[in-house]
Structure 1
């Protein structure tokens, strides 16, 4: 006699671990979500995929006109500001997309089962594609301004990966909060503006007063932006002391975000 399988909550695996297994099972879905986001972004755009490269260039031009004289001590300021802008833009866009993905995906969640984290992961993967494309105009600007491009640039994918891990963790935290408190999405835009100006994206870190230096280093985006700039703008490999804090904070934030998200994910279908 065949025994029917049954569900026993007492032997249910930890949600966080089970979600990881489901992500691998549904990897094709994540690929399709990422593909959909990329196509939807550029399909109706006149400039198409070129917009990803022109957008940071436009921001760089504006910032250079406004701040180049103020920060004239920075060599090749347009290349400096662009290297920070594309990393910050990745963080901003990916976390916003992760947050909106779980909200707009509520209809799908209510109809069929999908791993809830797949929306956030696809948002990060989409942003990674955009970030990779944004490196092209950065290299072009560096070439025009005669900024040396040396072999440490090969470390850049590692910097991008660490930044993506941190962004995923923040995206998961924001997604969970936004399901319960929709105003979080609006408040986050204000936080992003303040956070950017507290991070050396458009100004040199040397202008930070010494008495605030220790406090300033607690900003995780300070570590991550610097880790992105070092191999491409400064042309050197980050030291262990520069890499470890970025890795630790990114992994810790991801673990917190993953545990928080998966502990609440069963309720999303009733709240989105």
Structure 2
């Protein structure tokens, strides 16, 4: 897998470019929607939930948006990877293309959108007068580990979805539960202690928590949270690679 990936970098660029072009080809604003979408969501959620949690959370727009862009990246990229093989079935039947490339390109495409959202976050921080910290450099750690987790989970979902189409419906429910357990729009302190321990097992919440610590609060991310996220991410990553290699040749018969 790693050998062919080095040889297929040009193909990866073309697949990502194709996804970007296809998404915005009929839109008047085009890629500008990648800027407006997280901004509009932030404004709606801020207007609704700042009345409930605004006093408990300093600079609520930055708090919410910093969590939302992380979750949206995870949600969109894993769902994109999940349907990537079936979505490109017609191409796979015509020419040989390493099947995992479609999952990888789906993640890379969403990573481009994530970087755009990152620009929005810093713009909101400027407008709201949020302080910028040198510890923001540590945000690279949770983001990198989240990418590794997404790649592994994306490969697992791509295999599962090829055999069981219902996995897509189940995953929608799963991500909804994951969103509400990631403390996107509420402070974790309002959750009972026992539930907090359960929520802390959520790797997406771990990534959000570490990201906020580095960017929003100006502290070094908690070592144990980073260690847990790293262990979880690499475990899922290697499981994804092993599973995909096992079913790689069989997938063509199922699409």
Residue by residue over 1:78-116, the C-alpha shift from the partner in whole angstroms, topping out at 9 and shown as x without a partner, is: 110011111111011101111121111122222222111
1:64 aligns with 46
Residue by residue over 1:250-272, the C-alpha shift from the partner in whole angstroms, topping out at 9 and shown as x without a partner, is: 11111111111221111111111
Q: Verify: 1:258 aligned to 2:241, yes or no.
A: yes
Deviation at 1:149, TM superposition (A): 1.1
Q: 2:10 is matched with which residue: 28, 38, 63? A: 28
Q: How does 1:184-203 map to 2 (within 5 A)?
A: 184-203=167-186
After superposition, the CA RMSD in angstroms is 1.4
How high is the TM-score relative to the length of structure 1? 0.89
Q: Distance in 2 between matches of 1:249 and 1:99?
A: 19
In structure 1, the gaps of 5 or more residues are: 1-18
Q: Verify: 1:108 aligned to 2:87, yes or no.
A: no
Q: Verify: 1:231 aligned to 2:214, yes or no.
A: yes
1:205 aligns with 188
Residue by residue over 1:185-211, the C-alpha shift from the partner in whole angstroms, topping out at 9 and shown as x without a partner, is: 122112111110111111111112112
1:44 aligns with 26
Q: Distance in 2 between matches of 1:82 and 1:213?
A: 21
Number of aligned pairs? 254
Q: Verify: 1:119 aligned to 2:119, yes or no.
A: no
SS in 2 for 1:70: helix
Deviation at 1:41, TM superposition (A): 2.0
How high is the TM-score relative to the length of structure 2? 0.95
Q: Distance in 2 between matches of 1:37 and 1:158?
A: 27
CA 199–239 in structure 1, closer or farther in 2 if over 3 Å, else same: closer
